Amino acid sequence: MCCTGFLKLMMFIFNGTIFLAGAAILGVGIWVKVDSNSFMGILDSVEELPSEISQVANIAYLLIAVGAILLVIGFLGCCGAMRESRCMLMLFFSIVLIIFIIEVAGAVVLLVFKDVAEDLFDNLETEVQKGLRAKFGSDESLTSLWTTTMEGFQCCGYTNYTDFYSSPFYIQNNGSYPSQCCNGTDVSGVCSEAAAETAAHLQLVDGCFKKLLQLIEENALIVAVVALGIAALEIAAMVVSMVLYKDIGNKA
């Protein structure tokens, strides 16, 4: 009886954590979907995305789906333990096992094809440049999106200031570039071609793609630790659920 009570407590803790994680991921997914001023918004603004990259633009839906699944898992685990329902516990175990297998497969794919992501985003360069040169300065939505992104990441264009060459903004401002391309030092909101070239030559302003890669690299360790923690939690939850499942069966 004491052992069963302890197992129930462990299941409640494990699945309470999973439930809260699911709620957080669901919230992030909804935020990414409704927030147009994000990198996902930039992907949406590109008219002809490579098929591989177009899937990245659906990351918000993936986060929402994962969050919803985790909510269901947490609910099943807690209810199955509290109500001593073998059916719920088995369903919980099955879903977590499937998710764990998918995560392992995904990790293997990332390790084998770790350079694929950068290659895929490199394919975006031509399309993004085409969009910037055709619409930046005339399309209010695209201009606002890129301005916010450049201010947030302290970057200039997709690769550098030349992405804005011959754009409506460039023409309207007599051959000038957004102020972010010269470190935002010009209060007028633009910087001259000479200033932009100087900043680029001194490598003071990186492209937003390079900044994004730096952000991912800087947080790679944190992501890995969190992923390992989640995997350990899933394994522990599966073990406890099966022990509790067997214990309930013996009592019956």
pLDDT digits (tens, 9 = 90+) for 1-16: 456 677 778 788 878 8
DSSP bridge partners of 177:
191
Say if residue 109 is in the same domain as residue 196: no
Over 60: is that where the pLDDT of 44 sits? no
Q: What is the mean pLDDT of the segment spanning 111-124?
A: 60
Name the pairing type of β-strands 177-178 and 190-191: antiparallel
Residue (of 99, 107, 108) closest to 18 by Cα position: 99
pLDDT value, residue 117: 56
Say if residue 97 is in the same domain as residue 16: yes
- Residue 35 pLDDT grade (very low, low, confident, very high; cuts 50, 70, 90): low
* Dihedral of the alpha carbons of 141, 143, 146, 152, in degrees to the nearest 10: -90
The HSE-up count of residue 207 (CA atoms within 13 Å, CB side) is 16
The residue with greater pLDDT, 110 or 182, is 182
Tell me the whole-structure pTM to 2 decimals.
0.55
Over 50: is that where the pLDDT of 105 sits? yes
* Token pair belonging to 85: 């329902």
Say if residue 44 is in the same domain as residue 125: no
The radius of gyration of the chain from alpha carbons, rounded to an integer in Å, stands at 24
Number of domains forming the structure of the chain: 2
Say if residue 172 is in the same domain as residue 105: no
The HSE-up count of residue 24 (CA atoms within 13 Å, CB side) is 6
The answer to whether residue 215 is domain-embedded is no
Over 50: is that where the pLDDT of 53 sits? no
Task: Break the chain down into helix, strand, coil percent, rounded to 5.
Answer: 75, 0, 20
Say if residue 24 is in the same domain as residue 146: no
CA distances, 229 to each of 14, 65, 77, 232 (Å):
12, 20, 18, 5
Domain interval for residue 60: 2-114+220-251
Say if residue 103 is in the same domain as residue 127: no
Over 70: is that where the pLDDT of 243 sits? yes
Say if residue 80 is in the same domain as residue 138: no
CA distances, 146 to each of 21, 92, 128, 150 (Å):
31, 44, 11, 6
Say if residue 146 is in the same domain as residue 25: no
pLDDT value, residue 168: 92
Say if residue 145 is in the same domain as residue 49: no
pLDDT value, residue 52: 45
Say if residue 97 is in the same domain as residue 190: no
Say if residue 126 is in the same domain as residue 197: yes
Say if residue 8 is in the same domain as residue 126: no
